[in-house]
């Protein structure tokens, strides 16, 4: 399959591949749309089995960022970077300086930030070779790690979904969290403080042990998370967690988490709706982090200080949009992912016009 034949291509504006021999950097930067402004989206470092797998992930994530940024009503299009490699063994300041040069070569059409396998500390090195990095510390416009804001949005959105599904709050309910990395760990703490019981899983055992010690969560094997007796399933790891094959194993009525591209296929979303489950579309519920990043870019461009009030206003409005998606699903008798997709595409097309 060629790049242009991929179902994930969907009219990307550009796809850029960069290689740096000195550091071994192999990175793909995909820009789906700049209709609403320069593309913004994180950088993921993962040991992809093939370059084709890395390309497919970059395309899917970049397209999702276009939708996420449009629904969050920020002045950015969608883009994403992936670095092919093991984040546990291959990181170095020189590698991220080379990545910064790659970002700079895209000419300001893409702003990067952290994602799976990449930390704000890594991106400090990239900032030495490009200005198009956000989600950092140490300057007046800095917004810091966006993960806590992503988790805050997921927490608020999860509560909205729970209220619709169960008619109350989350205290006493059980939430199964798949993945306790940056976002999942912060979400676990918020849910624990709100009185929820937790079941967690991850491939990173030290991270599991740490979160379990702080929250009293029950730890299960990665595949067992789907069979947990939980009221809510919160995918916070990689994409494709919800499939037609595992729907029968989920026991709760809510799916709401921080991962991108949670539905393995559109058909999985259709089946969720037919079964009466409430799904919080990922690029709506998890938009808090990119709002935070946009706040930093906004401040950098204006030569001003970061404004958390602006971020809170955008995040609050995003939660109103999520609730509107839930209500329209009821009124129009259509799945939430279909409605959210229409909102995103309409806003992108309006910007193009």
| Average confidence (pLDDT) over 239-245 | 92
Q: What is the pLDDT of residue 1?
A: 60
pLDDT tens for each residue of 323-351: 999 999 999 999 999 999 999 999 999 99
Q: What is the pLDDT of residue 7?
A: 79
Tell me the three state secondary structure of residue 165: helix
HSE of 165, CA atoms in CB hemisphere, 13 A: 24
Strands (E), 34-103: 39-40, 43-46, 77-84
Q: Is the pLDDT of residue 166 over 80?
A: yes
Give the predicted TM-score (pTM) of the model: 0.92
Confidence bin at 65 (pLDDT 50/70/90):
very high
CA distance linking residue 218 with residue 87, whole number of Å: 27
Pair of tokens at residue 146: 């966006």
Q: What is the pLDDT of residue 4?
A: 85
Q: Is the pLDDT of residue 151 over 70?
A: yes
Q: What is the mean pLDDT of the chain?
A: 95
Tell me the three state secondary structure of residue 278: strand
Reference 60, options 74, 75, 44, 73; nearest CA is 44
Pair of tokens at residue 117: 């396998």
Q: Which domains does the chain have, with CATH numbers?
A: 3-65+76-127 (3.40.50.10860), 147-285+321-349 (3.40.50.720)
Q: What is the pLDDT of residue 6?
A: 82
| 11 or 249: which leads in pLDDT | 249
Burial of 215 (0-12, 13-18, 19+ CB in 10 A): buried
Q: What is the pLDDT of residue 2?
A: 77
Q: What is the pLDDT of residue 3?
A: 82
Cβ atoms 149, 289 nearer than 8 A: yes
Question: What are the helix (H) ranges across 216-287?
Answer: 266-274, 282-285
CA distance linking residue 104 with residue 140, whole number of Å: 22
Cβ atoms 76, 111 nearer than 8 A: yes
User: Which pairing describes strands 197-201 and 174-178: parallel, antiparallel, or unpaired?
Assistant: parallel
Cβ atoms 282, 245 nearer than 8 A: no
| 3 or 218: which leads in pLDDT | 218
- Report percent pLDDT > 90 for the chain: 91
CB contact set of 99 (below 8 Å; sequence gap of 6+): 25, 27, 43, 81, 83, 112, 126
Q: What is the pLDDT of residue 353?
A: 85
CB contact set of 292 (below 8 Å; sequence gap of 6+): 135, 143, 144, 146, 149, 150, 311
pLDDT tens for each residue of 94-107: 999 999 999 999 99
Burial of 227 (0-12, 13-18, 19+ CB in 10 A): middle
CA distance linking residue 126 with residue 117, whole number of Å: 15
Reference 124, options 135, 140, 109, 115; nearest CA is 135
Q: Is the pLDDT of residue 91 over 80?
A: yes
Cβ atoms 299, 80 nearer than 8 A: no
- Residues assigned a catalytic role: 80
Angle at 134 between CA 128 and CA 135, to 5 degrees: 115
Instruction: Output Rg (C-alpha) for the chain, integer angstroms.
Output: 19
């Amino acid at each position: 399959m060629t790049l242009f034949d991929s179902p994930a291509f969907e009219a990307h504006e550009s796809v850029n591949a960069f290689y740096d021999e000195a550091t071994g950097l192999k990175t793909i930067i995909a820009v789906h749309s700049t209709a609403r402004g320069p593309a913004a989206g994180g950088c993921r470092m993962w040991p992809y089995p093939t370059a084709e797998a890395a390309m497919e992930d970059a395309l899917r994530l970049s397209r999702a960022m276009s939708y996420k940024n449009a629904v969050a009503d920020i002045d950015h299009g969608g883009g994403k970077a992936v670095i092919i490699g093991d984040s546990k063994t291959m990181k170095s300041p020189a590698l991220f300086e080379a990545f910064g040069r790659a970002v700079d070569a895209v000419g300001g059409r893409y702003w990067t930030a952290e994602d799976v396998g990449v930390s704000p500390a890594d991106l400090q090195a990239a900032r030495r070779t490009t200005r198009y990095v956000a989600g950092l510390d140490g300057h007046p416009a800095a917004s810091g790690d966006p993960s806590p804001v992503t988790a805050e949005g997921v927490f608020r959105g999860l509560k909205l979904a729970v209220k619709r599904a169960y008619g109350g709050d989350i205290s006493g309910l059980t939430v199964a969290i798949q993945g306790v990395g940056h976002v999942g760990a912060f979400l676990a703490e918020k849910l624990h403080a709100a009185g929820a019981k937790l079941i967690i899983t991850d491939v990173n055992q030290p991270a599991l042990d740490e979160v379990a010690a702080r929250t009293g969560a029950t730890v299960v094997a990665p595949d067992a998370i789907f069979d947990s007796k939980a009221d809510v399933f919160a995918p916070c790891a990689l994409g494709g967690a919800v499939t037609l094959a595992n729907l029968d194993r989920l026991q709760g009525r809510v799916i709401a988490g921080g991962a991108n591209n949670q539905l393995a296929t559109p058909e999985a979303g259709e089946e969720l709706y037919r079964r009466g489950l409430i799904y919080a579309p990922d690029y709506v519920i998890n938009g808090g982090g990119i709002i935070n990043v946009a706040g930093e870019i906004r401040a950098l461009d204006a030569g001003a200080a970061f404004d958390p009030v602006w971020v809170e206003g955008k995040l609050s409005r995003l939660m109103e949009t999520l609730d509107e998606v839930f209500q329209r699903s009821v009124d129009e008798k259509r799945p939430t992912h279909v409605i959210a997709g229409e909102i995103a595409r309409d806003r992108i097309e309006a910007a193009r016009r």
